Amino acid sequence: MDEGSKFWIIPIVCFIVAAVIILFAVEYRVNTVFPNAEIEREEIENMTCDEILLKNSGHYWSTENKNIGNAKAIGCTETPKGQSTGLNPYVEFCNPGGFAPVKKIENSTHLFNHDTCIWDVK
């Protein structure tokens, strides 16, 4: 063997090692990840709200399944029902920066500010 033929041993070995690693990675995705993701997708469709909320805090086999799970979990969460706090109705149901009535709400000493939801002094 001359000096030039020894040089090609290292690149050839590196190429073979890289090809084996890529082969195992592709084999894992094709034979493990894709079938499990499909099974999981079918299970997500049949899950109850309690099951989907529990599953949503864990791992999914694919990002598509995660998006489906997140969308279903958002649909399962209940919005809290508003309960009266006993405050003035103008303050209790005020939405800062949102809809404000055309009518000004005031008395002889104060004016209600709909932007901050606070009674201000006139």
Exposure on the CB side of residue 35, measured as CA atoms within 13 A? 5
Mean per-residue pLDDT over the chain, rounded: 77
Instruction: Give percent of the chain with pLDDT exceeding 70.
Output: 68
Model confidence over 27-62: pLDDT tens digits? 999 998 889 889 988 888 888 877 887 787 778 888
CA distance 115 to 112: 9
Closest CA to 64 of 36, 96, 84, 28: 36
Residue 119 sits at φ, ψ, to 5 deg, of -80, 125
Q: Which residue has the higher pLDDT, 3 or 73?
A: 73
- What pTM does this model have? 0.47
Start-to-end Cα distance in the chain: 100
CA distance 50 to 54: 6
Q: Evaluate if residue 85 carries a pLDDT over 80.
A: no
What is the pLDDT, as a whole number, of residue 16?
96
Q: Which helix (H) or strand (E) holds 120?
A: strand 118-121
